[in-house]
Amino acid sequence: METPLVSIVIVCMNRLDNLYPCLEGVRAHTGVPYECFVVAYRFSPENLARAQANFPWVSWIVSDGIRGFAENNNLALRQARGRYCFVLNDDTEIRQDVIGALVADMERLPQDTAIVSPRLLNADGSLQLCGRPPYPARYYVLQQWHLYKEPIDDTVGKTPLFGELFRTSNITGAAFLIKTAVFRELGWFDETYYFTPEDIALSTLARKRGYGVYVDRAVSLTHKWRTTATRISPAIRPAAVRGSLIFFSGGSRLKYFLLALPVWLAESAKRAKAACRLRRDPSEANRIAWETFRNISRSIFTRQSPKQLFMKYFHG
């Protein structure tokens, strides 16, 4: 059996409509030796059998328990044999040899490089994200009040190292290539963070350890996140907010309180606004929005972990 250069890891929550285009793109456009793991999270027996039959070249890992993004990815990452790991969301589509290009980048970059990521595009071809700048705790609080918006292009005004490769500060978990040995050294994804900010936590830790993080502006793929991220938001968002507050407070109870109070006020205001909308229009979308903000505001000052919050609010 050929030793893979890259171990591709994809987590899918029973969404074949996302997974099939993703895997078809990987198969059609990957020009380096690879192995591909799909973590089949809470798949129906019918969907699992169908997917396994249609993609026999994939190594399937069945995950039926309640697990978050970090936990599910780690199930596969610990089995990776490649020199590099390519973490990929199932709601992405590849139309060029993204993985091969990032591997070529990695082999030209300085030895202390840990991660290189592609540019992400929306389904309409517009730019979604190209690198991520520093994101201190105050930006997180301001963003909850719509007083700060993270720049979508961290390469503007910068000089590339070479070609279209730029140093950046953070990554998104939707797609990135990382040296397997470094990922293992960093402990894989931190499972404290059930749904975000495990990606920022990873790149932050990598930089603290002296590793470089880069983005290639010339390499792109499509990420359809806006169409797939709302179905279970009443469970995901409370876990995400709690995880973010844990990360940005850095273990300090005082800092947690100082961050949590303005976030709670913002989410409570959103909850009141959503309640007014729901009274005017009792649609399913408005009900989900109200339930999401209600659950977030109830979860900020809890002692429950992000995973416990997800389990509390998940109905599925």
Print the domain residue range for 253.
Answer: 233-313
| 155 in the same domain as 187 | yes
* Dihedral sign computed on CA atoms, order 139, 144, 145, 151: positive
| 173 in the same domain as 49 | yes
Name the residue among 179, 184, 174 with its Cα closest to residue 110.
179
| 267 in the same domain as 206 | no
| 174 in the same domain as 40 | yes
Task: Please report whether residue 248 resides in a domain.
Answer: yes
Residue 211 confidence (pLDDT): 99
Domain end position, chosen among 192, 227, 262: 227
> Does the structure show a pLDDT above 70 at 292?
yes
Q: Which residues contact 33 (CB under 8 A, 6 or more apart)?
A: 2, 3, 4, 5, 6
pLDDT level of residue 296 (50, 70, 90 thresholds): very high
Task: Please report whether residue 1 resides in a domain.
Answer: no
CATH of the domain at 67: 3.90.550.10
Task: Please report whether residue 185 resides in a domain.
Answer: yes
197, amino acid identity: P
Residue 209 confidence (pLDDT): 98
| 253 in the same domain as 145 | no
Residue 315 confidence (pLDDT): 78
40-49 per-position pLDDT tens digit: 999 999 999 9
Residue 316 confidence (pLDDT): 56
Domain end position, chosen among 176, 206, 227: 227
| 304 in the same domain as 219 | no
Beta bridge partners of 137: none
Residue 254 confidence (pLDDT): 98
Q: Which residues contact 310 (CB under 8 A, 6 or more apart)?
A: 66, 68, 194, 195, 235, 236, 238, 239
pLDDT, mean over the chain: 96
> Does the structure show a pLDDT above 90 at 115?
yes
Question: What average pLDDT does this structure show over 262-273?
Answer: 98
149-200 per-position pLDDT tens digit: 999 999 999 999 999 999 999 999 999 999 999 999 999 999 999 988 999 9
Counting residues of the chain whose pLDDT is more than 90, the rounded percentage is 94
Task: Please report whether residue 279 resides in a domain.
Answer: yes
CA distance 26 to 22: 6
303, amino acid identity: R
- Burial-class residue 140 by CB neighbours within 10 Å (0-12, 13-18, 19+): buried
Task: Please report whether residue 90 resides in a domain.
Answer: yes
Question: What average pLDDT does this structure show over 234-238?
Answer: 95
Question: What average pLDDT does this structure show over 129-134?
Answer: 97
160, amino acid identity: P
| 64 in the same domain as 34 | yes
Question: What average pLDDT does this structure show over 26-43?
Answer: 98
200-229 per-position pLDDT tens digit: 999 999 999 999 999 999 999 999 976 444
Long-range contacts of 103-110 (CB under 8 A, 24+ apart): 103/5, 103/6, 103/32, 103/177, 105/163, 105/165, 105/214, 105/216, 105/219, 106/177, 106/179, 108/162, 109/161, 109/165, 109/212, 109/214, 110/212
Question: What average pLDDT does this structure show over 97-121?
Answer: 98
| 288 in the same domain as 209 | no
CA distance 291 to 282: 12
Predicted TM-score (pTM) above 0.85: yes
| 222 in the same domain as 287 | no
| 302 in the same domain as 263 | yes
Residue 231 confidence (pLDDT): 72
Domain end position, chosen among 178, 199, 227: 227
| 107 in the same domain as 16 | yes
Residue 2 confidence (pLDDT): 75
192, amino acid identity: T
Question: What average pLDDT does this structure show over 270-294?
Answer: 96
Domain count, the chain: 2
| 239 in the same domain as 170 | no
DSSP symbol at 79: T
Q: What is the phi/psi pair of residue 171, to 5°?
A: -125, 170
Task: Please report whether residue 299 resides in a domain.
Answer: yes
Residue 284 confidence (pLDDT): 92
Task: Please report whether residue 179 resides in a domain.
Answer: yes
